[in-house]
Every structure is written in C-alpha cells, then in structure tokens.
Structure 1
C-alpha cells in the first residue's frame, strides 16, 4: 500500500481527519521549507553552514521537531535564496 493510499484511508476516520486538519498549516510549512531547499539545490549541510548552525538543527526543523522562531524561519528562507512573507486570511469557519 502506498503512503498516499494509507493517508487517504486514515483520513476516512473523522477523528484522524480532525487532528490532521489541526496540523495542516504545520505540514504546509514543512513542505514549503523542503521545497525551498530543493529548488535552491542545497543540502541540509549547506543550509546549516549558511545559517551558522548544525545540520542536526536543520534536520529537526525540516521534520517539524521544533518550534522555530520567525527569525529562524527567515534565516532558512534567506539561506535558500527566498524571502519569507506572512499573510493573514479570514478563518473560513467564522
């Protein structure tokens, strides 16, 4: 069974879907981080060197195993050659 099929099957459970939706923004951020690094053609080690940190910190950031500050996220984006922006959207449930 593929990962996508497993995900779809799990999301059929209302409790799983609810928890997944709560984390959706975090998942999207992690996807964006990885996408920036891949588009830049850089390794975690190269990003770490540009940010003056350790590769393990970049790994934790990309896995979502940390609560990064805006400064850390901005440094990561700059190391990849991107500018980080923030936008607000009205909550769809209100």
Structure 2
C-alpha cells in the first residue's frame, strides 16, 4: 500500500485506533508493529518521568544529583534517546517519591 493509500484508508477509519494502527504499522506481532509499540511505550514512560519530575519541582540536574547520575542521562531518558535499566528506573521514581509497579501481560 502506498503512503497516499494509507493516508486515505486512515482518514476513512474515523476514531478506530486499532484499525489506524493496523493500516499504518501492520498486524499485531509483526516486526514493524512491535517496533512501533516499543517506541510508544518508551515515549509514554519518558513523558511520565518528565511529568513527575516537574510535579516534584525538580530540574533534571537536581533529580540527577538526588539519585547519583548525570543530568545528561535524565535528559536522554526524557527525550527517548536512552534505554533505562529497571534498577535505574526504580531509583529515579523513588527519588521523585513514587513507586514503580510492573504488570506482566
């Protein structure tokens, strides 16, 4: 399907988000769809981190100092440019007075 055909098909979907994802990235379980979903999850996590940091009234530099890392690392995580280890993720949110809970689906 060409990009123009994809755009047209997406416009016809209305609010059916699952159909839009199918048209744009393919069926669930395909490499392209999996890559999109991983990126979306990383984006959501990064936005949540930024939101919680701002709620706590901390700069990236202050949060980094609080948990023993560098400001550039916090920035890279918030901008989706770095993978984060679970232990670091727990430390970051702990530094913000939050807990992280994982759900395996």
Q: Is 1:28 aligned to residue 54 of structure 2?
A: no
Match of 1:56 in 2: 72
User: Larger RCO: Structure 1 or Structure 2 (Cα < 8 Å, ≥ 6 residues apart)?
Assistant: 1
Q: Which residue of 59, 76, 83 corresponds with 2:92?
A: 76
- The structure-2 alpha-carbon separation of the partners of 1:56 and 1:82, relative to structure 1 and needing over 3 Å to count, comes to same
SS of residue in 2 equivalent to 1:78:
helix
Larger radius of gyration: 2
Report the Cα offset of residue 47 of structure 1.
0.3
Match of 1:5 in 2: none
Q: Is 1:85 aligned to residue 95 of structure 2?
A: no
> Within 2, Cα distance between the matches of 1:43 and 1:27?
19
Report the Cα offset of residue 22 of structure 1.
4.5
**Pairwise CA RMSD:** 2.3
**1:7-64 deviation line (CA, Å, top 9, x unaligned):** xx8xx5725xx56444211111111111110111111011011011211111111111
| Unpaired runs of at least 5, structure 1 | 1-8, 90-94
| Unpaired runs of at least 5, structure 2 | 1-6, 11-22, 26-32
Number of positions where the alignment pairs a residue of Structure 1 with one of Structure 2? 79
Q: Which residue of 34, 49, 57 corresponds with 1:41?
A: 57
> Within 2, Cα distance between the matches of 1:21 and 1:75?
25
Report the Cα offset of residue 74 of structure 1.
0.6
| TM-score for the superposition, normalised by structure 1 | 0.70
- The structure-2 alpha-carbon separation of the partners of 1:22 and 1:56, relative to structure 1 and needing over 3 Å to count, comes to closer
| TM-score for the superposition, normalised by structure 2 | 0.63
